[in-house]
Amino acid sequence: MSFFNNIKHPDFWPNFLKVAIPFFVIVTIFSLALNSWRDLFSGDFTKVAETNFSEGKWQAFFGYKIVFSSLYGLYITNKNMKK
């Protein structure tokens, strides 16, 4: 089936959410660990918040991850739909 036919299938969106949400959480945790490794393990969460989320940085931080997770979820769900 084509992508547009798969989107119309009733199981597509629940399966999409089953893929995209856990992937988003994993990518977010991994990104925080890479960006603020020392601050996380020293317990300096104000420094983590300042580095990643202050002054509008949260929009870019989460924006890229939402777009990437959505595209990944669409791709994997479309690929795994039964034909």
- Residue 77: burial class (beta carbons within 10 Å; 0-12, 13-18, 19+): buried
Say what the pTM is.
0.86
* Cα–Cα distance measured from residue 69 to residue 19, given in angstroms and rounded to the nearest whole number: 8
Q: What is the dihedral of CA 28, 31, 33, 34, to 10 degrees?
A: 180
- At 66-81, the pLDDT tens digits run 999 999 999 999 999 8
Q: Is the pLDDT of residue 1 over 90?
A: no
pLDDT value of residue 83: 61
- At 6-27, the pLDDT tens digits run 899 889 999 999 999 999 999 9
Enumerate the domain spans of the chain.
3-80
Query: Is residue 72 within 8 Å of residue 22, measured between CB atoms?
Result: no
Query: 82 falls in which pLDDT band (50, 70, 90)?
Result: confident
